[in-house]
Amino acid sequence: MPLDLVQRTVRRFPCPLCGQGLDERETKKRKPYVICDPCGVQLFVRSKTGMRIFEQLVSDAEKRNIWKRLDDLQNRYQRKCPECGTTFWIVPDQLKTSWVDGKFEGYRCPGKGCTGVVSWSKEKK
């Protein structure tokens, strides 16, 4: 029997942990799922209601250009520690100021035992 040669467009859904775009897959029973190998997340949609909502989210992500928005957020608020190499999202708790004059120095690395500080430069991570 010949293989189905119909070209399907790859639909993507963001990983709920890292935000990476994941290719939508389909089970043998034609139910959608996604897998993020780096995070180990597996998301299987089993019910008809869930499949309908998932379909809306995937379609909405394409219409609203969510991939560009996620990329912009990562460039703006995700940094890489110059000492240990940990990639992290900046949060107010990590704000590092000078104890001498109170000037902003950067953001502390959340890595255990790491003393690295990342400045607010627009350099790529």
Both tokens of residue 119? Answer: 């400045």
13 or 123: whose pLDDT is higher?
13
The residue from 20, 35, 64 where one domain ends is 64
pLDDT digits (tens, 9 = 90+) for 109-123: 998 899 889 887 655
Tell if the pTM clears 0.75, that is, is over it. no
Residues 16 and 60 in one domain: yes
Domain contains 124: no
Domain contains 123: no
Average pLDDT over the chain, rounded to whole? 82
**Structural domain that includes position 85:** 78-118
DSSP state of 50: H
Crossing angle (nearest 10°) for helices 66-77 and 48-63 = 70
**Does the pLDDT of residue 44 top 90, yes or no?**
yes
Domain contains 38: yes
Domain contains 99: yes
Q: Per the structure, how many domains does the chain have?
A: 2
Stretch 73-84: mean pLDDT = 84
Residues 87 and 53 in one domain: no
**Does the pLDDT of residue 84 top 70, yes or no?**
yes
pLDDT tier at 125 (50, 70, 90 boundaries)?
Answer: very low
pLDDT attached to residue 18: 79
Task: Report how far residue 74's alpha carbon sits from residue 78's, in angstroms, rounded to the nearest whole number.
Answer: 5
Stretch 79-98: mean pLDDT = 85
Domain contains 91: yes
Task: Report how far residue 51's alpha carbon sits from residue 32's, in angstroms, rounded to the nearest whole number.
Answer: 7
Residues 40 and 84 in one domain: no
SS3 114: coil
pLDDT tier at 124 (50, 70, 90 boundaries)?
Answer: very low
Domain contains 55: yes
Answer whether 26's CB lies under 8 Å from 58's CB.
Answer: no
E strand or H helix that includes residue 68: helix 66-77
**Does the pLDDT of residue 1 top 50, yes or no?**
no
Domain contains 4: no
Residues 58 and 95 in one domain: no
